[in-house]
């Protein structure tokens, strides 16, 4: 391994590196720095994740090569977000700590344009900019890029994901044709390749780590659950990792808000980061997260871009991204700076194929685990507490004066009593919550396939049930379906015919879920009346085609034969209409 001295950097920069306590160059720096230091460097495509030391890889050589006698922009760095842009400018200022004549300007949206223009006019030789604001300044004629020797595109794939293609192209068009382009990106999607083909000359490709791969020391875990159980699964996963410090990724702003609000209501140290926040709100959230006052940041991909936190323990994919390459970015936010990390996916069965695609892209397998049971969670929390007790440092001098009184007060308790009570103080919350909660239903592929087959018009296989509730209990089909949903915890059980009679009823449901239905109804009441559900004999000639399923999404049959019987029996036209309108789009619940 080369030392920084051997890479050819000047002594002022070496002094700055020393101040920063960088002992040895990181692999990306070892490769890139000598290439960029050459008299006439070649263009470079560097495939490197954040956290690999890429800022210094391009930052140190440009500080080295900046001509301080010239008061014009010579190096232009473009990065996707304000945070990253500022971070880069700050890092460069650190590298230039002993090169006082180097001026670095950060140019980004959401902040005074005048002050930024002033900075440029004062003779900045290096600009770290976001594409939107820089493009505005170019269009206003406030920045002259004629003397630019190199453009560095940092997190280039992110910039394209964020829709900055046009701005990037416009900026590149404004810079001299003979400039260098150094492109840093975690992945190389096609649109980026086409920009590289158009604007780069004979680029050398440098890959740090595997192409398009997440960090090596990231473990990938998936939990398969029903879509409606995602939030419960999230809670369990978080509860089973008492030290969690991570980002929960959602696909939409609304979901980000919903999930974070629910987490906060449920007592978690969480907050949301999404596009509807003002700059100051965003900064407040980020600052709480960086200082670990927040343990969970619920964020959209766009909002989390440029967020640079090194020691996240977990990345939780509450939703898988539409573009699977984004998964690489997400998971690459943990397992940084040599630490290990875990990337978790909470997926439903329909998303399983996406997991397979990601596995292929990463060249790594997901470990699929069952969602932790209440017992497991309690055990983990308990041992976390015990661990804390074992590791806590006792300041005997400070605590000594209080001890005699404490001993006196606790004297009547024996050792077991004492341990049980002290453990319960922390533990009761979890015990209380989890003691009566069943394990989350794990969808099995065979049931899923069977259901798929039956909804596709295959031979549905129904069980017919007798229920001791009827018209006198004011039972309506809608209510019955609601009960099946609630008691089984499942929304998509195929329901056949429903017959509501005076004092009792019959209904048919997909036989695959016989156990769930029987177990689900056990011990339940309706308006204080004990519910009794039994398997009934099949109707002669009944139990054939599927009529509708309990999420009524793909049913179509809801208005037809499934209810015609009920309509015939009770002839309530209004009621029938009302019921058919409560068809629920499953997506809106997911």
DSSP state of 250: -
Burial of 84 (0-12, 13-18, 19+ CB in 10 A): buried
d(CA 364, CA 354): 14
User: Interface with ligand AMP includes 433 (CB under 6 A)?
Assistant: no
User: Interface with ligand AMP includes 260 (CB under 6 A)?
Assistant: no
- Of 337 and 535, nearer to ligand AMP (C-beta) is 337
- Of 337 and 386, nearer to ligand AMP (C-beta) is 337
Report CA torsion sign: 491, 496, 497, 500. Answer: negative
How many other CB atoms are there within 10 angstroms of residue 47's CB atom?
A: 22
User: Which listed range, 46-54, 132-140, 482-490, 530-538, lies at the site for ligand AMP (CB under 6 A)?
Assistant: 46-54
- In the complex, the smallest distance separating the C-beta of residue 11 from ligand AMP, rounded to whole angstroms, is 17
Q: From the list 16, 43, 46, 53, which residue makes contact with ligand AMP (rule: CB under 6 A)? A: 53
Q: From the list 31, 52, 203, 263, which residue makes contact with ligand AMP (rule: CB under 6 A)? A: 52
User: Which listed range, 50-58, 216-224, 256-264, 481-489, lies at the site for ligand AMP (CB under 6 A)?
Assistant: 50-58
Q: From the list 56, 294, 298, 304, which residue makes contact with ligand AMP (rule: CB under 6 A)? A: 56
Q: From the list 31, 46, 54, 246, which residue makes contact with ligand AMP (rule: CB under 6 A)? A: 54
User: Interface with ligand AMP includes 26 (CB under 6 A)?
Assistant: yes
d(CA 18, CA 28): 18
The residues in 334-363 that bind ligand AMP, with binding defined as CB under 6 A, are 337
User: Interface with ligand AMP includes 214 (CB under 6 A)?
Assistant: no
d(CA 490, CA 335): 36
Smallest CA-to-CA distance from 204 within 196, 212, 215 is with 196
d(CA 174, CA 548): 61
- Of 51 and 80, nearer to ligand AMP (C-beta) is 51
Q: Cα-flanking dihedrals φ and ψ of residue 346, to 5°?
A: -100, 110
- Of 52 and 175, nearer to ligand AMP (C-beta) is 52
CA angle 50, 258, 314 (to 5 degrees): 30
CA angle 473, 474, 478 (to 5 degrees): 120
**Count of residues near ligand AMP by CB under 6 A:** 12
Question: How far, CA to CA in Å, does 478 sit from each of 226, 523, 549?
Answer: 22, 21, 12
Which residues are CB-contacts of 524 (< 8 A; sequence separation ≥ 6)? Answer: 483, 487, 531
Map 217-238 to HEC letters: CEEEEEEECCHHHHHHHHHHHH
The residues in 487-526 that bind ligand AMP, with binding defined as CB under 6 A, are none
Cα-only R_g, the chain:
31
- Which residues pair with residue 183 across a beta bridge? 45, 153
- Of 45 and 56, nearer to ligand AMP (C-beta) is 56
- Of 32 and 355, nearer to ligand AMP (C-beta) is 32
d(CA 154, CA 63): 16
Inter-residue contact 302 to 84 (CB < 8 Å): no
In this structure, what token pair is assigned to residue 515?
Answer: 């156990």
Residue 39, CA atoms < 13 Å, CB-side half-sphere: 0
- Of 52 and 300, nearer to ligand AMP (C-beta) is 52
- Of 73 and 77, nearer to ligand AMP (C-beta) is 77
User: Interface with ligand AMP includes 51 (CB under 6 A)?
Assistant: yes
- In the complex, the smallest distance separating the C-beta of residue 49 from ligand AMP, rounded to whole angstroms, is 8
Rounded to the nearest 10 degrees, the angle between the axes of helix 11-19 and helix 82-95 is 120
- In the complex, the smallest distance separating the C-beta of residue 23 from ligand AMP, rounded to whole angstroms, is 6
Among all residues, whose Cβ is closest to ligand AMP? 55
User: Interface with ligand AMP includes 22 (CB under 6 A)?
Assistant: yes
Inter-residue contact 107 to 85 (CB < 8 Å): yes
- In the complex, the smallest distance separating the C-beta of residue 456 from ligand AMP, rounded to whole angstroms, is 49
In this structure, what token pair is assigned to residue 196?
Answer: 């590289």
- Of 57 and 143, nearer to ligand AMP (C-beta) is 57
- In the complex, the smallest distance separating the C-beta of residue 91 from ligand AMP, rounded to whole angstroms, is 7
- Of 275 and 338, nearer to ligand AMP (C-beta) is 338
d(CA 265, CA 270): 10
Question: How far, CA to CA in Å, does 439 sit from each of 186, 220, 371?
Answer: 38, 22, 8
Question: How far, CA to CA in Å, does 461 sit from each of 137, 455, 494?
Answer: 67, 11, 10
- In the complex, the smallest distance separating the C-beta of residue 335 from ligand AMP, rounded to whole angstroms, is 13
- Of 217 and 428, nearer to ligand AMP (C-beta) is 217
Q: From the list 7, 13, 50, 79, which residue makes contact with ligand AMP (rule: CB under 6 A)? A: 50
Residue 244, CA atoms < 13 Å, CB-side half-sphere: 26
- Of 94 and 426, nearer to ligand AMP (C-beta) is 94
- Of 52 and 342, nearer to ligand AMP (C-beta) is 52
- Of 51 and 562, nearer to ligand AMP (C-beta) is 51
Q: What's the full length of the chain, in residues?
A: 590
User: Which listed range, 30-38, 51-59, 403-411, 537-545, lies at the site for ligand AMP (CB under 6 A)?
Assistant: 51-59
Q: Cα-flanking dihedrals φ and ψ of residue 582, to 5°?
A: -90, 15
User: Which listed range, 23-31, 216-224, 464-472, 508-516, lies at the site for ligand AMP (CB under 6 A)?
Assistant: 23-31
Smallest CA-to-CA distance from 344 within 462, 244, 468 is with 244
Helices (H) and strands (E) in the chain, counts: 25, 21
- In the complex, the smallest distance separating the C-beta of residue 166 from ligand AMP, rounded to whole angstroms, is 27
- In the complex, the smallest distance separating the C-beta of residue 324 from ligand AMP, rounded to whole angstroms, is 23
Q: From the list 25, 374, 496, 557, which residue makes contact with ligand AMP (rule: CB under 6 A)? A: 25
- In the complex, the smallest distance separating the C-beta of residue 19 from ligand AMP, rounded to whole angstroms, is 12
- In the complex, the smallest distance separating the C-beta of residue 336 from ligand AMP, rounded to whole angstroms, is 7
Q: From the list 45, 46, 55, 138, which residue makes contact with ligand AMP (rule: CB under 6 A)? A: 55
Residues that bind ligand AMP (CB under 6 A): 22, 25-26, 29, 50-56, 337
């Amino acid at each position: 391994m080369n030392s920084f001295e051997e890479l050819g950097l000047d002594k002022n920069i070496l002094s700055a590196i020393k101040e920063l306590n960088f002992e040895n160059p990181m692999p990306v720096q070892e490769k890139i720095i000598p290439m960029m230091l050459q008299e006439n460097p070649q263009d470079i495509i560097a495939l490197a994740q954040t956290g690999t030391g890429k800022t210094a890889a391009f930052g140190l050589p440009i500080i080295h090569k900046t001509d301080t006698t010239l008061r014009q922009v010579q190096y232009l760095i473009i990065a996707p977000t304000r945070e990253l842009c500022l971070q880069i400018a700050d890092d460069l200022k650190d590298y230039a700590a002993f090169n006082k004549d180097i001026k670095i300007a950060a140019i980004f949206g959401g902040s005074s344009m005048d002050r930024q223009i002033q900075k440029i006019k004062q003779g900045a030789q290096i600009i770290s900019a976001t594409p939107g604001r820089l493009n505005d300044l170019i269009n206003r004629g406030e920045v002259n890029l004629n003397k630019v020797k190199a453009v560095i595109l940092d997190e280039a794939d992110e910039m394209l994901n964020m829709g900055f293609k046009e701005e990037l192209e416009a900026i590149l068009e404004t810079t001299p044709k003979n400039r260098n382009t150094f492109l840093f990106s975690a992945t190389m999607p096609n649109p980026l390749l086409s920009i590289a083909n158009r604007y780069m000359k004979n680029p050398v490709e440098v890959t740090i780590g595997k192409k398009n791969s997440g960090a090596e020391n990231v473990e990938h875990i998936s939990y398969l659950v029903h879509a409606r159980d995602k939030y419960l699964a999230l809670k369990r996963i978080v509860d089973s990792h008492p030290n969690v410090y991570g980002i929960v990724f959602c696909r939409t702003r609304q979901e980000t808000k919903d999930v974070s609000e629910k987490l906060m209501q449920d007592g978690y140290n969480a907050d949301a980061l999404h596009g509807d926040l003002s700059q100051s709100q965003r900064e407040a959230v980020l600052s709480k997260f960086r200082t670990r006052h927040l343990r969970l940041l619920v964020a959209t991909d766009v909002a989390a871009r440029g967020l640079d936190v090194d020691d996240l323990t977990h990345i939780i994919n509450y939703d898988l991204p539409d573009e699977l390459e984004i998964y690489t970015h997400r998971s690459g936010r943990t397992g940084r700076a040599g630490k290990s990390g875990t990337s978790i996916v909470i997926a439903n069965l329909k998303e399983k194929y996406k997991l397979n695609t990601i596995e292929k892209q990463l060249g790594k397998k997901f470990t699929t685990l069952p969602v932790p049971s209440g017992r497991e969670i309690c055990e983990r929390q308990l041992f976390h507490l015990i661990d804390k007790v074992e590791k806590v440092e006792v300041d005997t001098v400070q605590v000594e004066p209080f001890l005699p009184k404490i001993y006196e007060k606790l004297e009547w308790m024996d050792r077991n009593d004492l341990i049980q009570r002290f453990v319960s103080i922390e533990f009761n919350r979890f015990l209380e919550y989890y003691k009566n909660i069943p394990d989350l239903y794990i969808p099995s592929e065979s049931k899923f396939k069977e259901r798929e087959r039956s909804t596709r018009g295959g031979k549905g296989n129904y069980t017919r049930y007798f229920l001791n509730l009827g018209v006198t209990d004011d039972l309506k089909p809608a209510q019955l379906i609601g009960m099946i949903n609630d008691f089984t915890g499942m929304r998509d059980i195929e329901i056949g015919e429903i017959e509501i009679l005076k004092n009792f009823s019959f209904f048919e449901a997909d036989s695959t879920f016989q156990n769930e239905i029987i177990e689900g109804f056990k011990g339940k009441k309706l308006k204080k009346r004990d519910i009794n559900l039994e398997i009934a004999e099949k109707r002669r000639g009944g139990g054939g085609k599927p009529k509708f399923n309990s999420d009524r999404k793909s049913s179509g049959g809801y208005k037809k034969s499934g209810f015609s019987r009920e309509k015939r029996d009770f002839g309530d036209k209004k009621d029938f209409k009302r019921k058919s309108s409560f068809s629920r789009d499953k997506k809106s619940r997911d």
